Chain A
């Protein structure tokens, strides 16, 4: 065994990889599954389950190599790690010096899995399964892998720009959130939306899913320390604090605006807080995390309750409203609240005397958003021509469970 390997770090990152896996299934599957109508719950859960399988294979074959492999022109990793060639038990000090390189790869795999799964909230209840499958593979390869390389890969050009992204606010949430908006706009609204309300069919699933996400997020954020150390603990505390603050903020706003705090509001607010703190988790104090949570909760509330209602785009499960908007808030808030006193490897933000960081953060968000939106748009244009994006109106009415999978989730008799 390599002497540099630290058993404590290995144990924590292995555990974290499993935690991040649990965010996709069951976390996201139940969070989204509860929000759709009963005729679409299986197809919605299937999208998460399918992506866990699909991207796991993509990542092993070439996704990891494209994302983290030897740099080509600061834009993409090469294919020399195809099939994980050379990615073994020895650490790769460029990424994580105290755990096996293969463990870093496995941990990152779970991020690659959940990112396209987040997008599924935007096209819920109307996308063709076959088109979704092809889109996801192409999106993972042409959007996620390059952006991941720019921000985290050795030689990636955004990494050298000085933007901070502790656990993937930009790579994961901005890229998927913006792509989700493009998907919602290009697929069009669900039949009946917004004239008829389309209520969640099982909010208990949504609460379960949100709680699983919160739990798994400890692996996502605290695991991003890539070591069992004080930084991991600090990220853990920031994560929990922000989720709590955002949920409280959301409930408080609802209490004032609509007269009652809602359970769905609390669950959504918590997820917004988790998203917002993701880029900041390893750079901010607990008190700053309260600020980030309140900001994330409030801005996401406005985006899904006011802006979406006004412009009437059918971001069905608020993938853009929570992940795109929350991710952007978080990236910018990192530029405000980051503190070298918390993490010397980070930088100081605006509130700690350094205005420059905010600019880098905005640039990283802007570049990611424009790139992700453009490629998503092109992919959907091509797929629309060759495969069609939506199911037929008749199939949409019957539901995707029966028409795409020939199953239904609930029986009425027995």
Chain B
């Protein structure tokens, strides 16, 4: 069991979800986040004062998966969100110890969905 945390460009979310759907990976958590990559974002100006664009808007996906689905998920995310430009994002893959479905108290493989 793995937990995939993918940080992607916000406008790629629709395409990534579509690509995941194609691999029959439907369950996920999505949130708006701010992040720093190696480059800076767009500086903004407020009444003449420039704010350096340290943080850029990203979307974060969290997907818990049974092992056979991990590689397909990674491939789907890359396919849908890679442009070759900086800032395309990252995928973190983390070992997951346990998963519980609250309603049924099922554990692990079944509970992941």
**Footprint of B on A, CB under 8 Å?**
191-192, 196, 397-398, 402-403, 406-408, 412-413
Does B45 lie at the interface of the complex (its beta carbon under 8 Å from any beta carbon of A)? Answer: yes
Contacts of A191 in B (CB 8 A): 11
Contacting residues, chain A, for B46 (C-beta < 8 A): 407
Nearest residue (CB) in B for A191 is B11
Inside 8 A of A412's CB, which chain B residues have their CB?
32-34, 57
Q: Return A408 CB to nearest CB of chain B, in Å.
A: 6
Name the one of A398, A402, A406, A413 contacting B34, with C-beta atoms under 8 angstroms. A413
- B105 adjacent to chain A (CB < 8 Å): no
Count B-side interface residues using an 8 Å CB cutoff.
13
- CB pair A406–B57 under 8 Å, yes or no, is no
What chain A residues lie within 8 Å of B14 (beta carbons)? 192, 196
Cα-based distance from A412 to B57 in the complex (angstroms): 9
* Total contacts A-B at CB 8 Å: 24
24 pairs, A vs B, C-beta closer than 8 Å: A191-B11, A192-B11, A192-B14, A196-B14, A397-B9, A397-B11, A398-B42, A402-B42, A402-B44, A403-B42, A406-B42, A406-B43, A406-B44, A406-B45, A407-B44, A407-B45, A407-B46, A408-B44, A412-B32, A412-B33, A412-B34, A412-B57, A413-B34, A413-B55
Contacts of A408 in B (CB 8 A): 44
Q: Is the interface of A mostly helix, strand, loop or mixed?
A: loop
**Closest chain A residue, CB of each to CB of B15:** A196
Interchain residue pairs A-B with the least CB separation, the first 9? A196-B14, A406-B45, A397-B11, A402-B42, A406-B44, A412-B34, A407-B44, A412-B32, A408-B44
- What are the interface flags for B29-54 relative to A under an 8 Å C-beta threshold, 1 for contact and 0 otherwise? 00011100000001111100000000
**Measured between alpha carbons, how far is A406 from B57 in the docked complex, in Å?**
14
Bound complex: CA A412 to CA B9 (Å): 15
